[in-house]
Amino acid sequence: MDQIARAAGVVRRTVYGHFPNRDALIAEIVDGVGEAVAAAHAAGRAGVSDPAAALARATLAVWEIVEPYRLLVSLAQRSVTVEGIRASLAPARKECTDLLRRGMREGAFTSPLPAAALAYVHEQVLFGLMEAVNGGVLSAAQAGPASAETVLLSAGVPAERAAELVASARPPAAPAPGSPGLPFRPPPAADPTPAAASSVSPGPAADRGTATAPC
C-alpha cells in the first residue's frame, strides 16, 4: 500500500481510508482505467471518417489516459488476474476491433491476422511501451507517438503515411482528476530516462474525497 500511495501521490492514510487492501484498490483502478480507455478511444476517433486517421487519434488519446497510471498498471498486472484486466478493457477492444474490421474492408489496413486478434496485439503494444518507459529505455514523450505509429504499422499502414497521420493528430484532452471510475488521478509519472530525470517534479494529486467529477 505504501508503494501504491507513493505512485499515486497521496499519503497512505488516504488510501487506507477508501480501500481495505492493495488488491481492492488495484481492482478499482483497473476498472476505472478500463472505462476511461473506452471513453478516450471513442473521443479520439469521433468525427474522423478515415480508419487510419481514426486509429492514430484513438491510440494517442488512449496513451494520454494510461501514461500517468503506468506504474500502477504495472502493479495491477502482478495483482489482478489476466481475465480481470481483459474484462475491463473489453469495451475498448470491441471498438478497436470494429474500427480495424472496417479499415480492412475499405483497404486502409492489411494484416495476416483477423481484426479481433489484431486488437489484442495493439493492446499489448501499449502495455509493452509502458514497461519500456518504466524500464528507462524509452522516454514518456517518445512513447505516445511511438505507440500510434507502431499500431498503424502493425495494421499495414506504410511507414511514411503512419508518421504523417501521427504528426497531424491532436488527441482530445484527458479527463479531469476524479473522472468517473477512477479513484484518483496520480501526478505525471516520473520519466526514468536520463534525459528527462532532471525535468520531472512530482506534485500532489487529488484524493477521492476531493476529486471533481466531469470520456
Residues 148/169, Cβ–Cβ less than 8 Å: yes
- Tracing cell 479531469 back to the chain, one arrives at 176
- Give the least confident one: 6-10, 81-85, 94-98: 6-10
Residues 71/135, Cβ–Cβ less than 8 Å: no
* CATH class for the domain made up of 2-173: mainly alpha
**Model pLDDT, residue 199:** 36
* pLDDT digit string, tens, across residues 40-84: 899 999 999 999 999 999 999 999 888 877 776 676 666 656 667
**Model pLDDT, residue 70:** 75
Cα–Cα distance, 53 to 56 (Å, whole number):
5
**Per-residue confidence at 194, pLDDT binned at 50, 70, 90?**
very low
* pLDDT digit string, tens, across residues 102-123: 999 999 999 999 999 999 999 9
* pLDDT digit string, tens, across residues 133-190: 989 999 988 999 999 999 999 999 999 999 999 999 865 444 443 444 444 444 444 4
Regarding pTM above 0.85, the answer is no
Residue 213, pLDDT > 50, answer no
DSSP string, 55-109: HHHHHHHHHHHHGGGHHHHHHHHHHS-HHHHHHHHHHHHHHHHHHHHHHHHHTS-
Cα–Cα distance, 121 to 41 (Å, whole number):
16
